[in-house]
Homo-oligomer: A and B are copies of this chain.
Amino acid sequence: MSGRVTIRDLARAAGVSVSTASKALNDNGRMADETRARIKRIASEIGFRPNALARGLLSSRSFTVGLLTNDTYGRFTLPVMAGISEALVDHGVSVFLCAIEDDPALGKIHVDAMLDKQVDGIIATGKRVDRSLPVDLAGLPVPVVYAFTAGTPDSVTFTADDAQGAGLATAWLREIGRRRLAHVTGPEDFASVRERAFAFASEAGGNAPILYGVWSESWGHEAVARLWDDGGERPDGIFCGNDQIARGVIDALRERGVKVPGDVAVIGFDNWEILAQQTRPPLTTVDMNLKELGREAGLMVLSLAEGRTVEPGLRKLPCKLVVRQSCGGARYA
């Protein structure tokens, strides 16, 4: 209701010129401290807030960035978004969220809309670093940073350190005394699946079984059936490729009367809290620090927008292990 207060209103109210008012607010130019203070006081009294459109027109900075994603359920996007927003809100930057699914036309529409609005940069996020979004973000007039999605060679891409995360999990299983380890994971064509599996194998030994499948609870179930019914040695520690699989594994074990963590310790991947905490017992899992990743991506795109140049390439951020009851004890590392 209060209408919009312009700098002219402020100048009038303070009995100064528009340019003086502007300088007072931005701590520019030379002027009596008293004048500056008075103008600032009046500004807040009458609720003056500069019009970002006008300001952006002049500075060619809009203090907005765009977040492009094809992650429908937002399991990755939301924490990343939270991190971006948290890092950028202090800089007065707001974030456009554009969910484009896998639709190239929709992607283009959103990108164009953002460019029209003069976004200072774009962050592209996906679900896997070995696939790219269905839009071409090369050669845009604004910087682009990638997270969990494939970028151009000359750009900066953030992802989690899958190998390190898998290493943490496997090492922990060994540390708590498990010796017969297995890895139940997603489709082998995911780069992150291969990285995690490789790290698992390095730590657990080449004979430890690795079962590739899909990202679902039912695959976790089925994998347990295979491990238990094929007559081979049964594991006492299972590292799963994500939390959903882990959930399926735990449920299947319970149905077989196998105790978790007593007989078998189980570790997941993602720390998707709403799932991991509801699992019985609550799930020990690898956390990819998505929020922190978002923070870094946000600050990076801002840096680039401000003209800094940075080393392009893939940046792998470390994971942490969140220990809950599914493998005994409780530790945050």
What is A's interface to B at a CB cutoff of 8 Å? Answer: 1-4, 49-54, 56-57, 62-64, 66-67, 72-74, 78, 81-82, 85, 89, 92-99, 106, 109-110, 112-118, 139-141, 216-218, 244, 251, 254-255, 273-274, 278, 280
4 shortest interchain CB distances as A-B pairs: A97-B97, A52-B116, A52-B117, A217-B278
Could you tell me the dominant secondary structure of chain A's interface residues? mixed
Flag if B113 contacts A92 (CB, 8 Å). Answer: yes
25 residue pairs of the A-B complex, CB under 8 angstroms, read: A1-B140, A2-B141, A4-B141, A49-B115, A51-B118, A52-B118, A53-B53, A53-B56, A53-B57, A53-B118, A54-B57, A57-B57, A63-B117, A64-B96, A73-B274, A85-B97, A89-B106, A89-B109, A89-B113, A94-B98, A94-B114, A94-B117, A97-B97, A244-B278, A254-B255
Chain B nearest CB, measured from A54 CB (Å): 5
Contacts of A273 in B (CB 8 A): 73
Flag if A49 contacts B114 (CB, 8 Å). Answer: no
Compute how far the CA of A114 lies from the CA of B96 in the bound complex, rounded to whole angstroms.
Answer: 11
Instruction: Decide yes or no: A94 and B113 within 8 Å by CB, A52-B118, A53-B118 being known contacts.
Output: yes
Flag if B49 contacts A139 (CB, 8 Å). Answer: no
